[in-house]
Amino acid sequence: MMRAMWTAGSGMIAQQFNVDVISNNLANVNTTSYKKQKVEFKDLLYETVERAYILDDRGKPANLQVGHGAVPVSTVRDFVTGSFEKTDGKLDFAIDGEAFFMVRGPRDGVLYTRDGNFKLSITEDGKMLTTSDGYPVLDEYELEIYLDDIDLDAMSVMEDGEISYTDEDGLVVPTGYRIGMVKFENREGLENSGRNFYAETSASGTRIPDQDFGRQSILKQGYIEASNVNVVEEMVKLITAQRAYELNSKALQSSDEMIGMANNLKR
């Protein structure tokens, strides 16, 4: 009976964690380029009461085992592309493909994001392309991008990230910058750093230039990528998790009642 209490308790803890993840998905339903997560579970250690065996053409064909519950082992992020929202902003970008933008983080490390809602920051070196947090957006050579003496209304960005503008004579003039886009062999191995940023890990592998791996991504100017959270789907998961939590609590209560009955046998 004590085993049942601990088993039911592990199920309640697992479902509580599941609800936490679902709640985070719902909280980010309007977060630009947010990717929903799901929890993966595994069963715990099994106690073998009697093993299966065959002896002299007779024996026990099946094991007698009892488990000890469940435990969450990983959170997997779904990188399915969200819908594109048209903004017509000259500094709004969405990636049609599997690539990420490169950003210079607060500790000079490189972070990665799908959030293309960029801004222009006035710095000592000129007008620099940055994220909403002020982190520099990097080009294909990991250099900051400066857009001095460029009228934003005349600026255009090609599908491969090349930045140019149209001068007074109507000629297209390249700036020499190309917005950097990279990919990873294992995107699920990226570490979530918050604020729409991801960090490279040994599990994700090192970054690869977009054009060197898989189908080349397409950069869309004047669009942003919306969250890929499906509210109805998350609500169904939330109800299922709540019911599973309730069932485990019932099992816990039943175990407690059975222990109480055993304790009262002497009366």
Tens digit of pLDDT at every position of the chain (267 positions): 578 999 999 999 999 999 999 999 999 999 999 999 999 999 998 888 888 887 777 777 889 899 999 999 999 999 999 999 999 999 999 999 999 999 999 888 999 999 999 999 999 999 999 999 999 999 999 999 999 988 889 999 999 999 999 988 889 999 999 999 999 999 999 999 999 999 999 999 999 999 999 999 999 999 999 999 999 999 999 999 999 999 999 999 999 999 888 888 876
As a whole number of angstroms, the distance between CA 13 and CA 21 comes to: 13
User: What pLDDT is attached to residue 9?
Assistant: 95
For the chain, give every domain's residue range: 2-79+229-263, 84-225
As a whole number of angstroms, the distance between CA 112 and CA 190 comes to: 9
Q: What angle do CA 31, 34, 40 make, to 5 degrees?
A: 130
User: What pLDDT is attached to residue 149?
Assistant: 83
What pTM was estimated for this model as a whole? 0.90
Which residue has 């957006």 as its token pair? 137
User: What pLDDT is attached to residue 99?
Assistant: 98
Contact 97, 216 (CB under 8 A): yes
User: What pLDDT is attached to residue 33?
Assistant: 96
In 3D, which of 91, 111, 116, 133 has the Cα closest to residue 226? Answer: 116
The DSSP call for residue 264 is T
Q: What share of the chain is helix, strand, coil (3-state, %, to 5)?
A: 25, 35, 35
As a whole number of angstroms, the distance between CA 32 and CA 228 comes to: 9
User: What pLDDT is attached to residue 52?
Assistant: 85
Which residue has 């149209």 as its token pair? 166
